[in-house]
A and B are shown apart, each in its own frame.
Chain A
Amino acid sequence: MLEFPSWQADEGTFSLWWRELITEFERIHPEVRVDLYALPFDSYVDQLTIRFAANDRPEIVHLPARNAAEFAGRGWLAPLEDRLRSTDIPRTWTPLQEVMALDGEDYGVLLLGYGYTLYYNQRLLESVGAEVPATAEEMIAAAEAITGDGIYGFGATTAPNPDNYTELAAFVVGSGAALSTDDGAFTADSDAAVAGLDLYRRALAQAPQGIQSQQRNELFLTGKIAMLLDGPFFLNELDNATDAVRPGLKVARAPFPRVPGGVSNSIHMPAGIDPRKAEAAWNFIALAATPEWQRRYTELTTNPAPRADSVTARAVAETPQLELFQRLADEAVSVFPGHQAHRERFGRISDIVSAAATSLITTDESTASIAARLQDELKQAMES
Chain B
Amino acid sequence: MTTEPQRTPRRGAAEPTGQRPPTASERPPGLRREHRRRSAFAYLTLSPTLAIVGLLMAYPLYVAIDLSLRGGQIADLLNLERNPLTLDNYGDVLGDPGLAGDIVRSIVYTLGVVIPAFAIGLGLAVLLNKAFPGRRIIRPLVLLPWAVPGVVVSAAFAWMFDASYGVVNYLLRTVGAIDSNVAWLVDSNTAMFAVILPTVWKYYPFFVLVLLAQLQSVPNELYEAARVDGASPLRQFTHVTWPAIRTAASLAIVITGIGVFREFDFIFPLTGGGPNEATQTLAIRIYNEAFQFFEMGTAAALGIVTMAICGVLLKAAGRAVRREFG
Number of A-B pairs, beta carbon distance below 8 Å: 88
Please state if B274 and A354 are interface contacts (CB–CB under 8 Å): yes
Contact string against A for B residues 267-280, beta-carbon threshold 8 Å, 1 for contact and 0 otherwise: 00001111111000
Please state if A209 and B274 are interface contacts (CB–CB under 8 Å): no
- B132 contacts partner chain A, Cβ-Cβ < 8 Å: no
Residues of B at the A interface (CB closer than 8 Å) are: 73-79, 161-165, 181, 183-188, 271-277, 288, 290-294, 296
Task: State whether A347 and B185 are in contact (beta carbons under 8 Å apart), knowing that A355-B276, A358-B275 are contacts in the complex.
Answer: no
Distance in angstroms from B149 CB to nearest chain A CB is: 15
Contact string against B for A residues 347-384, beta-carbon threshold 8 Å, 1 for contact and 0 otherwise: 11011001100110111000000000000000000000
A361: which B residues are within 8 A, CB to CB? Answer: 186
Please state if B183 and A210 are interface contacts (CB–CB under 8 Å): yes
B161: which A residues are within 8 A, CB to CB? Answer: 210
A159: which B residues are within 8 A, CB to CB? Answer: 185-186, 271, 274
Distance in angstroms from A359 CB to nearest chain B CB is: 6
Contact string against B for A residues 206-219, beta-carbon threshold 8 Å, 1 for contact and 0 otherwise: 00111100010000
Please state if B76 and A46 are interface contacts (CB–CB under 8 Å): no
Distance in angstroms from A213 CB to nearest chain B CB is: 13
Residues of A at the B interface (CB closer than 8 Å) are: 45-46, 49, 52-55, 70, 73-76, 150, 152, 158-161, 208-211, 215, 345, 347-348, 350-351, 354-355, 358-359, 361-363
Cα–Cα distance between A208 and B185 once the two chains are bound (Å): 13
B188: which A residues are within 8 A, CB to CB? Answer: 362-363
Identify the closest chain A residue to B279 (Cβ).
Answer: A160
13 example contacts (A-B, Cβ-Cβ < 8 A) are as follows A45-B291, A53-B77, A158-B186, A160-B186, A160-B272, A160-B276, A208-B163, A210-B163, A350-B292, A354-B274, A358-B276, A362-B186, A362-B188
Contact residue among B75, B163, B293 (Cβ-Cβ distance under 8 Å from A52) = B75
Task: State whether A161 and B163 are in contact (beta carbons under 8 Å apart), knowing that A45-B291, A54-B78 are contacts in the complex.
Answer: no
Identify the closest chain B residue to A381 (Cβ).
Answer: B293
Please state if B183 and A362 are interface contacts (CB–CB under 8 Å): yes
B272: which A residues are within 8 A, CB to CB? Answer: 160-161
Contact residue among A49, A150, A152, A355 (Cβ-Cβ distance under 8 Å from B277) = A355
Please state if A55 and B76 are interface contacts (CB–CB under 8 Å): yes
Q: A348-B292, A358-B275 are in contact. List 15 more A-B contacts (CB 8 A).
A: A46-B291, A49-B294, A53-B74, A74-B73, A76-B75, A160-B275, A208-B163, A208-B165, A209-B164, A347-B293, A351-B293, A355-B274, A355-B275, A355-B277, A362-B275
